[in-house]
Amino acid sequence: MSILHNLAERRILEAIKEGALDDLALRGQPIPKEDLSGVPEELRMGYKILKNAGYLPEELQVKKEILALKDMLSACTSPEEREEAQRKLSLRRLQFDMLMEKRGSSVAIREYQAKLEAKFSD
């Protein structure tokens, strides 16, 4: 075994003895695997590095905002709030579509793919 491996193993054992690892979120459970099936294989490592560094690609950030706006839209009580949320949602969807087209994925292709997936998943 290498020196680094031995050092890491020793530090882990010390942390276990001190109880530093007792309150971990997934203690005693398997670590969930990331689903990177939607990311091209040659980009997966880069996405993983960016994710671990806390960076979210612009299209994913916009997608996150779209989901939040959908939730907000369903919770709106007044017509004015609903109209404003719908306007923001439309703008974010347009921004997302533009980003995806720039990356080589058009709206028509994504809609067709969704229809195919729905058809074959029945």
Structure tokens at 10: 């020793």
With respect to residue 70, please indicate whether it lies within any of the assigned structural domains: yes
With respect to residue 8, please indicate whether it lies within any of the assigned structural domains: no
With respect to residue 115, please indicate whether it lies within any of the assigned structural domains: yes
Q: For the chain, what is the domain count?
A: 1
With respect to residue 32, please indicate whether it lies within any of the assigned structural domains: no
Range of the structural domain that residue 104 is part of: 57-122
With respect to residue 91, please indicate whether it lies within any of the assigned structural domains: yes
Structure tokens at 79: 């017509």
Amino acid identity of residue 95, one-letter, is Q
Percent of the chain with pLDDT over 90: 19
CA 32-37-69 angle, to 5 degrees, is 80
8-state DSSP, 79: H
With respect to residue 121, please indicate whether it lies within any of the assigned structural domains: yes
pLDDT digits (tens, 9 = 90+) for 14-46: 998 998 888 887 777 887 777 777 777 888 888
How far apart are alpha carbons 109 and 115 in whole angstroms?
Answer: 10
Where is pLDDT greater, at 108 or 11?
Answer: 11
With respect to residue 14, please indicate whether it lies within any of the assigned structural domains: no
Per the listing, tokens 């058009």 go with 106
pLDDT at residue 87 greater than cutoff 90: yes
